[in-house]
Amino acid sequence: MAAKKARTNKLRPKPTAKDVKVPANRALESAWDTLAARIRDAETRGAEAFDELWEAAGEAVEHEPPLYVLGGYKTPKEFYTKLLHTDPRTAARNIRVAKYASPLDEETYGTTSLDAALGYLEAKHGALNGRLPVAFGALKIPQGGKLVPFAQLTAAEIAQATRALHTPKTPAHAARAAYEKALAKHPALAGVRVAEQAGRVTFSRVPLASVALFAGVIAKVKLPAVE
């Protein structure tokens, strides 16, 4: 009997997010009822209530314990899809935009560009807390070697700038530096000049008597990856 009981316990599935339980609590129930009413009201008013709708949704998800459970939803996905008729990815984007942007920002720039800008700021400064320290109107993002006002960029261009934050940059004249370092080890080649521009490298003042040495040194230089 003991062996059978142990085997039964071993096969019992582990609790998942679907098993979240919120104990009966009048304060929590009241909080959920208030949020649910805000969501219903915002939905009836359409686009003008975007900020109110998604701020309320964010509160329902971020509260500890999650308040959506009191509405009969077992997971955030179920809450988003059944009550808000939105997929989780779009819902997460809308919640983030509503949390950090004003209704005027949303009307002026659009949620897609705002979400891209928030992603850029998080990649550059870390997780955002509270309101943004700068206005979107003053935000500038690197593009084409210069800082460009956020409003002039597409969401795709902002995403490109975000990816660039994590891309190791090769020095502008890394190849020249590598060649110069190698040549400096040989007194006979101390006068050789190296120039690098637009993906090309040129050498000058190579002594005729040291051409063979020069060729051997250059051939052994390991160059950085060419972008």
Does residue 10 lie in a domain region? no
198-227 confidence digits (pLDDT tens): 778 899 989 999 999 999 999 999 887 655
Cα distance between residue 69 and residue 19, in whole Å: 10
Number of domains making up the chain: 3
57 and 113 fall within a common domain: no
For all residues of the chain together, what is the average pLDDT?
85
Domain match, 117 and 91 both: no
Q: What is the pTM of this model?
A: 0.62
The answer to whether residue 213 sits within a structural domain is yes
Residue 7 lies in a domain: no
Same-domain pairing of 71 and 22? yes
End residue of a domain, out of 98, 121, 147? 98
Range in 6-15, 23-32, 145-154, 162-171 the model is least confident about: 6-15
Residue 175: per-residue pLDDT: 85
| One domain, residues 36 and 87 | yes
Regarding whether 159 and 93 lie in a shared domain, the answer is no
Q: What is the mean pLDDT of residues 80-99?
A: 94
* Cis peptide preceding 149, ω within 30 of 0: no
Residues 187 and 213 in one domain: yes
3-state secondary structure of 158: helix
- Cα separation, 95 vs 86, in Å, equals 12
- pLDDT confidence band for 25 (50 / 70 / 90): confident
**Contacts for 33 with CB less than 8 Å, ≥ 6 apart:** none
Would residue 54 count as lying in a domain?
Answer: yes
Cβ atoms within 10 Å of 165's Cβ, excluding its own: 10
Asked if residue 180 is part of any domain, the answer here is yes
| Residue at which a domain ends, from 40, 75, 98 | 98
The answer to whether residues 94 and 105 belong to one domain is no
Q: Above pLDDT 70, what percent of the chain? A: 83
Residue 155 lies in a domain: yes
70 and 133 part of one domain: no
Q: Are residues 110 and 74 in the same domain?
A: no
Q: Which domain holds residue 188?
A: 174-220
Residue 120 lies in a domain: yes
Question: Within a domain: residue 2?
Answer: no
Tell me which residue has tokens 């509405």.
71
